Amino acid sequence: MPKLTVERLFSDPPLFAEAPRNLQMAPDGGCISYLQAAQEDRERLDLWRADPDTGRAERWISGTDLAASLPATEAELAARERRRAFVHGITNYQWHPNGQALLLVADGGGYLLDLATTQIRQATPEGQRYTDIKLSPQGRHLSYVGEGNLYVKHLADGNERIVATSDDPNISFGIADFLAQEEMDRYDGHWWRDDDGQIAFTRVDDSPVRASHRFEASDQGPQVIEQRYPFAGEANPSVGLGLYEVATAITRWIDYADAQEDYLARVAFTRATLAVQVQNRAQNRLRLKLIDLDSLDGRTVIEESSTTWINLHDNFTSIGEDDYLWTSERGGTSQMYRYRNGDCEPVTQGQGHINRILDANDERALVSGWLEAPTEQHLYRIELADGKRTRLTGPGCHELTASQGGAWLFDRASSLQSPGRIQFGRGDGVWHPLSETKIDNQHPYHPFAEEHITPELGTLTAEDGQTLHYRLTRPRQPAKAVPLIVNVYGGPGVQRVRNEWPPLLLQLFAHRGFGVLELDNRGSANRGRCFEAPIHRHLGHVEVRDQVMGAEFAAGLPWVDAERIGVLGHSYGGYMALLCLAQAPKRFHAGVAVAPVTDWRLYDTHYTERYLGQPRNNAQGYESSSVFPHIDGIQGKLLLMHGMSDDNVVFTHSMRLMTALQKANIPFELMTYPGAKHSMQQKAVAIHRFTLILNFFERHLCG
């Protein structure tokens, strides 16, 4: 049987088609629509539709039909990088509420598809590209942002109106700022009220942020880029919040902040108010305020505080007048609370973790999360009267989304043994199949199926008694002890070990004779406050100790060669790879650090200060969390990789590391990628990068 190769893994057609995106039920229930990557070009999204009764699917509109002649703007490229969405074609769409038309967003333009005539017309002005293109809830207007200016277009008469504009390049309207997109998971900068009557929008002024300069290189040569990057401890952008009346074209400004440095975390309209979540700069206090739409007076209805930090979420749900659902980790894990007429009462308690409220009314809520084990995710129905939870999904991990205000739910399910299926239903436990991946002789992965290795899950116990989950992939029937790679991320906000179809990268290593261990150390996501808290004010300590414990466990397995263990990581994982080499040189004999953070003073405010505080208040924590006090311990082989256009973990991180390694006379190998940003997703870069990584480990662990 053939072995999986790097070239085949990253070439078209993909071995496994990317899961459909943006699954929606048509307003009349006549079809299910979604975005799907093209077989011939995995980076192009097309619009598809499927029959709900038969599951028969067809490509509806190709992304090539709406290709633009103008190149993507910097704002578009930045937004793609922030979302880690490296695609073109039809990147978003919305159903018109009457079900007779769709808004298609493609390559900087908004297009309306008339279902009666099948005609497509461009709805945004020609000659310019736009971002944040939205159809208003009632379908009367289109909103969009161009060159930092916010526009509204009345679709019936084609009249365009400027909502907010500025000649200052540091000021933008209606688009989320860098920190909101990169670190807060808030990608919107303007929001429509349900009746189309008002738009809430941001005014972002980047001028308070110190202009810094970073080196960037592409195949066109080097250049110096000015970037207003908010380094830890320094000034943030100023973010205002306006309320625009569509009928009168009048904007009023909302005084939402309690202090000058507060963050605008979330914005949403309720039935009669604007709900604004305000987070202080230390991120240990969060207030949810309801803003009266007439007086613009605000009242705080929910307040959270923490001795560490507060994780943001999108779970504020209005179910009636002065009646709201909310999730909080105040008791240790994420549970649901009901705020009614000023009173707060817990709905759920104890074990488990609620990740998302998908739909709710005054009797029940449909939520995703886990109750039995953090390695799975399920749909639960929760009775608001007594908190009773009923699981509505089978074994595995279920990624759930809601359509038509929660009337329909879509479930993308998989497990270690099953590559995936999509089903839909109304949240009553009855599911209708839409599609299922079967590896038959027509499937692209079929030639490699016999060599496929199913990973195994297991647990270890951390030094403080908490349970650590791992995923272990071993080569097929090794004749002798084999080398092992610890594939690590290790940072907060991420969970890797789950009962889901595993990344094919694991198969790539296994087919080359390597075992792979992945372990979710303390500090990682989906486990609650107690599991995350040990990293507060000092990063790179307990995380490394947990990964070393994992490596020690693996070294004791009969099929692992304890003298040939390596470590691989990207971003926070690259930081972890460096620290594992430095702090456990007798256990890790080779490591690859891709785009690593090396000094947290060089990273942004919202992420870094969440865990470390500001540098002036935790100088010792910043120093000990940096890699530089530890690099003298590096004895194993090191390969350093970085994209030379990285605007997130800027190239300065690796340049400082190179200098420090050279001063310490520590040898290392280096590969840089001109034009590549932080994710390094270009096909040629991916093929070259993983070929080099495999060859590096084969040279230093298999000799």
Span 389-428, pLDDT tens digits? 999 999 999 999 999 888 999 999 999 999 999 999 999 9
The whole-number pLDDT of residue 225 equals: 83
> Does some domain include residue 426?
no
> Does some domain include residue 651?
yes
Residues contacting residue 563 through CB under 8 Å, at least 6 positions apart: 589
Q: Which range (255-264, 533-542, 678-687) has the least confidence?
A: 678-687
Same domain (yes/no): 123, 68: yes
Same domain (yes/no): 531, 635: yes
Same domain (yes/no): 226, 304: yes
Give residue 485's Cα distance to chain centre. 25
How far is 295 from 45, CA to CA, in rounded Å?
Answer: 44
> Does some domain include residue 134?
no
What percent of the chain is predicted at pLDDT more than 70? 98
Same domain (yes/no): 644, 501: yes
The sign of the CA dihedral 251, 257, 259, 263 is negative
The whole-number pLDDT of residue 127 equals: 87
How far is 426 from 500, CA to CA, in rounded Å?
Answer: 23
Question: What CATH number is associated with residue 276?
Answer: 2.140.10.30
Phi first, then psi, for residue 50 (nearest 5°) are -135, 150
Residues contacting residue 106 through CB under 8 Å, at least 6 positions apart: 63, 66, 67, 68, 88, 89, 90, 91
How far is 652 from 213, CA to CA, in rounded Å?
Answer: 10
Average pLDDT over residues 659-685: 95
Q: Of 278, 312, 346, which one is at a domain's C-terminal end?
A: 312
How far is 676 from 641, CA to CA, in rounded Å?
Answer: 11
Prior bond to 13 cis, omega within 30? yes
CA distance from start to end of the chain:
25
The whole-number pLDDT of residue 634 equals: 98
Full domain range(s) for residue 566: 446-701
Average pLDDT over residues 561-585: 98
> Does some domain include residue 382?
no
How far is 554 from 620, CA to CA, in rounded Å?
Answer: 33
CB atoms within 10 A of CB 100: 14
The alpha carbons of the chain give a radius of gyration, in whole angstroms, of 25
The whole-number pLDDT of residue 99 equals: 95
| Tokens 């504009």, located at residue | 165
The whole-number pLDDT of residue 222 equals: 85
- pLDDT at residue 86 greater than cutoff 90: no
Q: Of 247, 279, 312, which one is at a domain's C-terminal end?
A: 312
Same domain (yes/no): 104, 183: no
Nearest-5° angle of CA 340, CA 305, CA 545?
Answer: 130
Average pLDDT over residues 320-342: 95
Task: List, by residue number, the catalytic residues.
Answer: 571, 646, 678
How far is 7 from 15, CA to CA, in rounded Å?
Answer: 11
The whole-number pLDDT of residue 84 equals: 66
Which ranges of 434-562 would DSSP assign to H, the alpha helix?
A: 446-449, 504-511, 529-532, 542-555
DSSP-derived secondary structure for 221-268: EEEEEEEE--BTTSPPPEEEEEEEETTTTEEEEE---SSTT-EEEEEE
The whole-number pLDDT of residue 70 equals: 64
Question: What CATH number is associated with residue 28?
Answer: 2.130.10.10
Same domain (yes/no): 459, 504: yes
The whole-number pLDDT of residue 66 equals: 87
How far is 422 from 405, CA to CA, in rounded Å?
Answer: 19
Q: What are 473-490's pLDDT values in tens digits?
A: 999 877 789 999 999 999
363: left (phi over 0), alpha (psi -120 to 50) or beta: alpha
> What is the bridge-based pairing of β-strands 141-146 and 149-154?
antiparallel
Q: Of 77, 109, 129, which one is at a domain's C-terminal end?
A: 129
Average pLDDT over residues 97-117: 95
Give residue 318's Cα distance to chain centre. 25
- Provide the pLDDT confidence category of residue 98 given band limits of 50, 70 and 90: very high
> Does some domain include residue 143?
no
Average pLDDT over residues 505-525: 96
Q: Looking at per-residue confidence, does 246 or 66 come out higher? A: 246
Q: Which helix (H) or strand (E) holds 596?
A: none
- What is the DSSP-derived secondary structure letter of residue 19? P
Query: What domain count does the chain have?
Result: 3
Q: Which range (238-242, 472-476, 573-577) has the least confidence?
A: 472-476
| Tokens 């945004």, located at residue | 124
> Does some domain include residue 69?
yes
> Does some domain include residue 347?
no
DSSP-derived secondary structure for 86-117: --EEEEEEEE-TTSSEEEEEETTEEEEEETTT
Same domain (yes/no): 115, 264: no
Q: What are 18-30's pLDDT values in tens digits?
A: 889 999 999 999 9
> Does some domain include residue 234?
yes
The whole-number pLDDT of residue 271 equals: 87
673 three-class SS? strand
Same domain (yes/no): 637, 585: yes
613: left (phi over 0), alpha (psi -120 to 50) or beta: left
CB atoms within 10 A of CB 190: 24
Which ranges of 334-478 would DSSP assign to H, the alpha helix?
A: 446-449
Average pLDDT over residues 176-183: 95
Distances (CA, A) of 149 to 74, 102, 146, 154, 168: 14, 24, 5, 17, 11
- Largest pairwise CA distance in the chain: 77
Same domain (yes/no): 167, 115: no
Q: Would you tell me the crossing angle of helices 683-701 and 504-511 to the nearest 10 degrees?
A: 40
Same domain (yes/no): 454, 563: yes
- Provide the pLDDT confidence category of residue 218 given band limits of 50, 70 and 90: confident
Q: Which range (13-27, 496-510, 630-644) has the least confidence?
A: 13-27
CB atoms within 10 A of CB 514: 26
Same domain (yes/no): 122, 163: no
Q: Specify the amino acid at residue 207.
A: S
DSSP-derived secondary structure for 517-537: EEEE-TT-SSS-HHHHGGGTT
How far is 43 from 37, CA to CA, in rounded Å?
Answer: 6
Nearest-5° angle of CA 581, CA 698, CA 470?
Answer: 55
Q: What is the mean pLDDT of the chain?
A: 95
Q: Which range (88-92, 149-153, 615-619) has the least confidence?
A: 88-92
Average pLDDT over residues 233-257: 98
Question: What CATH number is associated with residue 575?
Answer: 3.40.50.1820
Q: Which range (53-62, 65-74, 478-487, 652-661) has the least confidence?
A: 65-74
Q: Looking at per-residue confidence, does 188 or 86 come out higher? A: 188
Burial of 31: CB neighbours in 10 Å, binned 0-12, 13-18, 19+: middle
The encoded tokens of residue 513 equal 């004779």
Same domain (yes/no): 179, 230: yes
Contact in structure between 425 and 433 (CB atoms under 8 Å): no
Contact in structure between 265 and 258 (CB atoms under 8 Å): no
- pLDDT at residue 622 greater than cutoff 80: yes
CB atoms within 10 A of CB 39: 14
